[in-house]
A = this chain, B = another copy of it.
Amino acid sequence: MPKYCYAFANGKAEGKGKGKELLGGKGAGLAEMTDLGIPVPPGFTISTEVCKVYYDNDRTYPESLDGEIDEHIVHLEQAMGAKFGDHDNPLLVSVRSGAAVSMPGMMDTVLNLGLNPAAVDGLIKKTDNPRFGWDAYRRFIQMFGNVVMGINGEKFEHELDAVKQSAGVAEDTDLSAEHLQDVVKRFENVYEQHTGKPFPTEPREQLRLSIDAVFGSWNNDRAIKYRQLNKIAGLIGTAVNVQAMVFGNMGNTSATGVCFTRDPATGENVFYGEYLINAQGEDVVAGIRTPHPIAKLGEEMPDAYAELVETKNRLERHYADVQDMEFTIQEDKLYFLQTRTGKRTAPAAVKIAVDMVEEGMITQEIALQRVEAGQLDQLLHPTFDPKADKVVLATGLPASPGAAKGKVVFTADDAEAWVARGEQVILVRSETSPEDIGGMHAARGILTATGGMTSHAAVVARGMGTCCVAGCGAVVIDNASKQFSVNSTTVKEGDIISLDGSTGEVMLGDVPTVDPKLGDEYHKLMGWADGVRTMKIRTNADTPHDAQVARDFGAEGIGLCRTEHMFFEGDRIVAVREMILADDEAGRRAALAKLLPMQRDDFVGIFTTMNGLPVTIRLLDPPLHEFLPHEEDSQQEMADTLGVSIDVVRRKVKLLHEFNPMLGHRGCRLGITYPEIYEMQVQAILEAAVAVTAKDVNCLPEIMIPLIGTIQELTFTKERALAVAERVLAEAATTLEFLIGTMIEIPRAALTADEIAAEAQFFSFGTNDLTQMAFGYSRDDSGGFLTEYVQKGILPDDPFQTIDETGVGQLMRIAVEKGRGARPNLKIGICGEHGGDPASIDLCHRLGMNYVSCSPYRVPIARLAAAHAALKHG
């Protein structure tokens, strides 16, 4: 006969070592504590297997379950010396759900189960406290009615209020035993009215209904949604814990509390928690009374406190991790009701992990796994003071982390002008474009009304490490009158707002922040990570400054240097526009000749900063129309600067207009229709490399051709690049190592990677575009429906945040296999936004990539995530 129930009582736990999968987190903790000799009220756990059988068999229970529960009740009665429904010594139990992963809000606890008129008598006899007895009974009816039978809680509150009113009292605690007896009657009526049946007074029946409610709740909408939102998958079900009640509210020798073995906010190794004398657990949680700090318990109840400290130390040692515990003291006797791994902030996680290694409790490997890579984000940016008051105006997408505040401006030019005169500004735009780059650099933070996590604003901001809240649809911008509104609140130019790039919150006024500190523990942990990981970490950086930031964060090269960002700075845009307006190749070459020295200087700066490390430079990628102004004024200005009529500018803008620029004339397509553009860029790269090499800089350039879809595109552009390189090196009478490779960002490139690898010396996955094209989602436009897709469970994640392994990952796997099939030592990396996402980094590791590249501020996250992947998959 299969075993479904696991008893824990008197230092013996049938479930010892059976684990969370079978017993749930709570059940496993109770079994473990019992086995350790820690005082735990006895009880038993109905395993998660019952939940599985229940759903596998159309909501019916295993035949043997009822008998097994009966047996365990008998044993529990024996352990407690009490009996269900007994006049003298009634057994009262709690019934709690508990899956392997904590799911608060899925199903509340039922306390005091077992009460009925006879048991209330018994309870009163035992405690000599009629008020306590009737209060317990009315609480039970209320909880059972609400939690188990789904009766609206207000129905009970309404009756309670009526009794308080007729009694002329304000607080529940002022009601007498008689009043409470009246409340019980009224509650019984409410119950019967809403269920059509009298309140069940038979304890075994109460238990049956409660267990049924717990298992039934596993697949209610709320629970399903919770698991979706929290990405909890692969669980077979919840367990049910039936446990003898203990009471922290039996007078001043009783108490209840919650505590952590270390401070979960800072990680300091100090006992941390709070408690209340003469109270039940929910009183601490509900916050009606203000609890005391745990240390004070040492004064109030020194014996219990000493036992608490001794036990919490044992638990931490046993689990080798910070424990989050619930305890109750009933008439001076300490009971542990729960222990689980304590949640902690990022700084605490780092400190605890490193401290525990130094205390000899855990290995470095385990320490690394104790810190979530994504959490590190909190350490790398200033954060808002959690104690500060704040007025949240709206919430957008947390596009680039950080805490920023400043005066609102509505144009990039204004941002630059205001900053030039010493202001701090937040740039508010519908969406940004490459023309806004100067203003984005100047701004403390960027707020956009449209666009997703990988919109222009988001990508550029993350690259800069600038805080950004994107796609905040509630923000309605009125550029004409320089103000924006959210519902009825209007924010004018010059008003101060604060942006939380980690939560997406947009707040009114100047919310105070606290600076990040990267302590010794952080550096120790990162050192261990570097020792474990097998993938290199590079960064996406377009300037010497960004490159230096990334290098300081531990980047081992540049995986993506976007040359087009350099095309906007200063006078360059004039030469770029001259090139675009040119009627023929000669005209374009003349304009490009002006750009050449500037572009060469860019690379000199970057190569020098990255001395000794590889630098992957992507040739021009965006469509040419991105370099032209679209507003009347700017077009006139451009016409004046270039000495042409505004009609010429307008006509060119119209000519270059594309319905779907993402799928248009860009990337290597430009390099093929205008080979002179790539030739200038390759010349600048090689000339810069020659120049810095002469100054003893170890320069490792990797030239990357973007948007390759066919081998012919690569052959065409590579041939010309090699010809230019040969010419430059011949003129300099020197040699130099460099690579020519390609982005894999077009599905067709992935599918024909064997052909492409024959010519490409490296692959770099552009997973932004690959995701756009594999799904047919524009990252600029899909924000709206993707949010809904994730909410409705159509997609598990936003595929622009975490690589879709099933589809996009399949293309990547095809590309890696075919690519390495054709060129076994092919260097493969990723330079899409996903390069900084831990789940995606895990996939990259499994695909056998050589490196991931991400924005500078995500380099530490990538280092840790790569270590995690190496530990997990070897």
Q: Give A contacts to B, CB under 8 Å.
A: 658-665, 669, 672-673, 707, 709-710, 712-713, 716, 745-748, 751-752, 755, 769, 772-778, 780-782, 784-785, 788-789, 792-795, 804, 806-808, 810-811
- Interface contact A775-B748, CB-CB below 8 Å: yes
- Determine if B784 and A746 form an interchain contact, defined as CB atoms under 8 angstroms apart: no
A807 touching B712 in the complex, CB below 8 Å, given contacts A661-B659, A778-B659: no
Question: Is the CB–CB distance between B665 and A662 below 8 Å?
Answer: no
Q: Is the CB of A665 within 8 A of B712?
A: no
Q: Give the residue of B660, B752, B808 whose beta carbon is less than 8 angstroms from that of A663.
A: B660
CB of A771, distance to nearest CB on chain B (Å): 9
Bound complex: CA A748 to CA B795 (Å): 13
Looking across the interface, which residue of chain B has its beta carbon closest to that of A715?
B794
A808 neighbours in B (Cβ, 8 Å): 748
A778 touches B747 (CB 8 A): no
Q: Are B663 and A782 in contact (CB under 8 A)?
A: yes
**Among the listed B672, B709, B807, which residue makes an inter-chain contact with A788, where contact means beta carbons less than 8 Å apart?**
B672
Determine if B810 and A658 form an interchain contact, defined as CB atoms under 8 angstroms apart. no
User: A664 — which chain B residues lie within 8 A by C-beta?
Assistant: 778, 781-782
Taking the nearest CB of chain B, how far is it from the CB of A676, in angstroms?
14
Chain B residues closer than 8 Å to A752, beta-carbon distance? 806-807, 810
B804-A748 in contact (CB<8A): yes
Residue of B669, B769, B777, B794 near A712 (CB, 8 A) is B794
Q: In the complex, are the beta carbons of A776 and B663 less than 8 A apart?
A: yes
Task: Check B781 against A660 for contact (C-beta < 8 Å).
Answer: yes
Q: Could you tell me if B712 and A793 are in contact, using CB atoms closer than 8 angstroms?
A: yes
The answer to whether residues A672 and B778 also contact, given A663-B660, A784-B665, A807-B752 and a CB cut-off of 8 A, is no
Rounded to whole Å, the gap between the CB of A436 and the closest CB of chain B is: 15
Residues of B within 8 A of A712 (CB): 793-795
Q: CB within 8 A of A747: which of B663, B784, B811?
A: B811
**Cβ–Cβ contact A751 & B661, under 8 A:** no
In contact, A778 and B713 (Cβ under 8 angstroms): no
Q: Closest chain B residue to A804 by CB distance?
A: B748
User: A485 to chain B: closest CB distance in Å?
Assistant: 13
The distance from the CB of A190 to the nearest CB of chain B, in whole angstroms, is: 35
Question: What is the distance, in angstroms, from A458's C-beta to the closest C-beta of chain B?
Answer: 14
Query: Is B660 in contact with A775, judged by CB distance below 8 angstroms?
Result: no
Copy number of this protein in the oligomer?
2
- Supply 15 further A-B pairs (C-beta < 8 A) apart from A660-B662, A663-B772, A747-B774: A661-B778, A662-B663, A662-B776, A662-B778, A663-B782, A672-B788, A707-B776, A709-B807, A712-B793, A748-B776, A748-B808, A751-B806, A752-B806, A755-B806, A769-B776
Q: Is the CB of A785 within 8 A of B673?
A: yes
Chain B: CB-nearest residue to A809: B751
Residue of B nearest to A430 (CB): B654
A663, B777: Cβ atoms closer than 8 Å: yes
Q: Which partner residue on chain B sits nearest A793 by CB separation?
A: B712
Tell me, in angstroms, the Cα distance from A713 to B788 when the chains sit together: 12
CA distance A33 to B710 in the complex (A): 46
Within the complex, which residue of B713, B747, B806 is in contact with A773, where a contact is CB–CB below 8 Å?
Answer: B747
Closest CB in chain B relative to A328 CB, distance in Å: 45
- A785: chain B residues at CB < 8 Å are 665, 669, 672-673
Bound-complex Cα distance A348 to B115 (A) = 100
* CB-defined contacts of A748 to chain B, threshold 8 Å: 774-776, 804, 806-808
In the bound complex, what is the Cα–Cα distance between A748 and B774 (angstroms)? Answer: 5
* B-side contacts of A811, CB under 8 Å: 747, 751
Q: Are A774 and B773 in contact (CB under 8 A)?
A: yes
Residues from chain B with Cβ under 8 Å of A755 in the complex: 806
Can you report 28 residue pairs joining A to B where beta carbons are below 8 Å apart? A659-B781, A660-B660, A660-B778, A660-B780, A662-B776, A663-B772, A663-B776, A663-B778, A665-B781, A665-B782, A665-B784, A672-B785, A672-B792, A709-B777, A709-B807, A710-B794, A712-B795, A713-B794, A747-B775, A747-B811, A748-B776, A751-B806, A751-B807, A751-B810, A751-B811, A752-B806, A752-B810, A773-B776
Contacts of A810 in B (CB 8 A): 751-752
In the complex, which residues of chain B have a beta carbon less than 8 angstroms from the beta carbon of A769?
Answer: 776
When the two chains form the complex, which single residue of B663, B774, B794 contacts A716, counting CB atoms closer than 8 Å?
A: B794
Question: Smallest distance from the beta carbon of A745 to chain B beta carbons, Å?
Answer: 8
